[in-house]
Amino acid sequence: MTALNLFHHESPTFLQRIGDVFHAFFTGLQDARMQAHRFETLSRLSDAQLAAHGLKREDIPQTVFASTRS
């Protein structure tokens, strides 16, 4: 019975761990691209348009970062 328990474990396999690393990498890459797009979009707005959204130009980086963290 002990021998069976040595081979029966619930930890992730090597391939599962590699898959998790790739998934995390590509998810992070997708998040970064979305942040860049949002930053570009907000940067193109005029100061009046930003103010209509309750933003100032210097608020853009913080707003973009905060929107992806929530």
Domain ranges across the chain:
28-70
Assess whether pLDDT exceeds 80 at residue 4: no
Q: Label residue 12 left, alpha or beta by phi (over 0 means left) and psi (-120 to 50 means alpha).
A: beta
**Which residue, 32, 34, 56, is CA-closest to 43?**
56
> Per residue in 26-48, pLDDT tens?
999 999 999 999 999 999 999 99
Helix (H, G, I), strand (E, B) or coil at 55: coil
pLDDT in tens, 50-69: 999 999 999 999 999 887 76
Q: Rounded to two decimals, what is the model's pTM? A: 0.69
Residue 50 has a pLDDT of 96
Residue whose token pair is 């853009």: 60
